[in-house]
Amino acid sequence: MLNLILFGTPGSGKGTQSVKIAEKYKLGHISTGDIFRSEIKSKTELGLKVQKIIERGCLVSDEMLIEILDNAMKKFSDVEGFVLDGFPRTIRQAEELDELLGSRNECVSLVLALDVNPDEVLHRLMKRAAQEGRKDDTEEVIKKRLNVYYHQTSPLIEYYQKQGKYKSVHGIGSVEDIFENICNTIQTVR
C-alpha cells in the first residue's frame, strides 16, 4: 500500500495535486477540508459544530479528526493506498494516524511537502476568494490560517524528518511541472 501525506501551508496546492496523485496511483483521496465543507453545506450536526471554527481560520479539535479519518478510509474499497490532503495538522493527529495505520498493518509511506512562499499563498488564495467566495479566504483569515500552520502544523516537519519520510518539492510553477516532480519523488519509495 502507498500511503502519502500531502503537506504544506494553506494554498500550497495540496488539494490540486492530491486529485492528480489519487487518479494516477489509484489511491483513495481524503481531504479533511472537503469533508468539512460538505458537512457545512448539508448543515449536518458536524457541519454546524465546525462552521464557526473554520470560518475563523482555526483548527477543528483533534478529538473529532481521527474518527472522521477512520470513517473516510472505510468508505474506500479496491484502492492501493491513500493520499491524505490536509491531515495530519498537529502532532497528536500524526500520532493517532500512526496508530490507525498500524492497526491495519500499514504505515505512512511518504510525506510530500509543497514548498511555496507566503506571498504566493496569499496571492493564490485571494484569487480563489474572488472566484469561489470561500468564507475562510479573506485576507485576515488567510493570515490567521498561516499563523496556525506555523504554530500548530509545522512541528510535523521534524516529526516526519526523524522518521526519514519527509521530502520537499518546489511548489511554484505550472500544476503539471509540480506534478511531474511529485511523481519522480514518489518513485523513490516504490
List, by residue number, the catalytic residues: 14, 89, 128, 134, 145
Q: Note whether 86 binds ligand B4P by CB under 6 A.
A: yes
Residues 10-39 that bind ligand B4P (CB under 6 A): 10-16, 32-33, 36
User: What's the grid cell of residue 106?
Assistant: 500499514
For the chain, how far is it from start to end, CA to CA, in angstroms?
10
Distance in angstroms (rounded) separating the CA atoms of residues 141 and 147: 10
Q: Note whether 179 binds ligand B4P by CB under 6 A.
A: no
User: What's the grid cell of residue 65?
Assistant: 479528526
* Residue span binding ligand B4P (CB under 6 A) among the ranges 22-30, 52-60, 72-80, 101-109: 52-60
Where do we find the cell 506555523?
150
3, 106 Cβ separation under 8 angstroms: yes
Distance in angstroms (rounded) separating the CA atoms of residues 190 and 186: 7
> Judged by CB, which is closer to ligand B4P: 84, or 186?
84
> What is the binding site for ligand B4P (CB under 6 A)?
10-16, 32-33, 36, 53-54, 57-60, 65, 86-89, 93, 124, 128, 136, 145, 175, 178
